[in-house]
Structure 1
């Protein structure tokens, strides 16, 4: 059985996008990128919303990304080597291999994916993760907190729901980013 992990980059004030939709506030750093690559290499399935999938698919469809450095090539290879499930009402086809489209979020289907998995699943996209958090399917929340306050935008965690969390661990990076790992309480 696999665990469902929600991992995202957030500003210190909790946003994944600034008020203009930008998300470039996470400071660059080889150690943060390396941590993301290790995570990508450890999971068997990516469960993405359409917008995040479209942003990430370039790791498979544009060879120039992998050609830039050995570190980027490792990340690209991990993305290519992972099954992908994309939640979208508008996509009719996908440009990446090992990818299937789901039209609507069904907690039963996600539970079945977890039960059948021999590796962890990574859910991405704040809206999609919000559905999974509300359905109590997320086993771990991983927040890469950037040392910047953007003052508004799209929140990294769902609003309108209380989620109690237990701290599992933290990791500091040289560029000021802190990874916070939490387990949602089910009670």
Structure 2
């Protein structure tokens, strides 16, 4: 069965960026990066908010990234192959192939997408993921918890909804990152 998976990197205290909007606290590590690549390879569609899309688009628009290593090349190839849906009221055109822009998040359209998909779908960007969580669309959360406390910033999870979760897996990486996989209770 196709799953909608919310995936994000977050600080130990639950933030995806600090109070200045910086995300420079992520410890780059081949083991964690490989895990991200494996997730990309399992998904056929990525749902993004504008800011995350603009960050990730560099994997297609900047060839020097893929040229840095075999691991980066595999990540770039997987990212480019997937379909991307970007939710934005301001973006006028996509800078990457296999990408379409939607003006507003429509839970019904996402349900239909899930029903028709042949592989998993990921959702990224805290605001967009929050909408998907509140709509009951997220089947799994894969949260990479980083060994850093930011003390504030943009929350990784909804702050205006209660969602009870069940831990289904955990993985510890050598650099102190922990991948926690949860599913909402009742699924």
TM-score scaled by length of structure 1: 0.98
Rounded to whole Å, the distance in 2 between the matches of 1:66 and 1:26 is 19
- Equivalent-residue separation in structure 1 for 2:184 and 2:105 (angstroms): 20
Residue matched to 1:115? 115
Partner of 1:79: 79
Mapped to 1, the partners of 2:50 and 2:185 lie a distance apart of 28
What does residue 36 of structure 1 align with?
36
SS of residue matched to 1:80: helix
CA distance in 1, matches of 2:108, 2:117: 14
**Structure 2 unaligned regions, length at least 5:** none
Structure 2 equivalent of residue 172 of structure 1: 172
Deviations 1:132-181 (A, max 9, x none): 00000000001100011010000000101111000000000000000000
Unaligned runs of 5+ in 1: none
Q: Distance in 2 between matches of 1:185 and 1:128?
A: 21
Structure 2 equivalent of residue 5 of structure 1: 5
CA displacement 1:12-50 (0-9 Å, x = unmatched): 000000111111112111100000000001100000000
Distance 1:42 1:60 in 2: 19
Count residues in correspondence: 187
Q: What do you get for the CA RMSD once the two structures are aligned?
A: 0.9
Q: Is the partner of 2:113 in helix, strand or coil?
A: helix
Distance 1:2 1:117 in 2: 7
Aligned partner of residue 59 in structure 2, secondary structure: helix
CA distance, structure 2, for counterparts of residue 166 and residue 156 of structure 1: 17
Q: How does 1:147-166 map to 2 (within 5 A)?
A: 147-166=147-166
Deviation at 1:186, TM superposition (A): 3.8
Q: Indicate the residue corresponding to 1:132 in structure 2.
A: 132
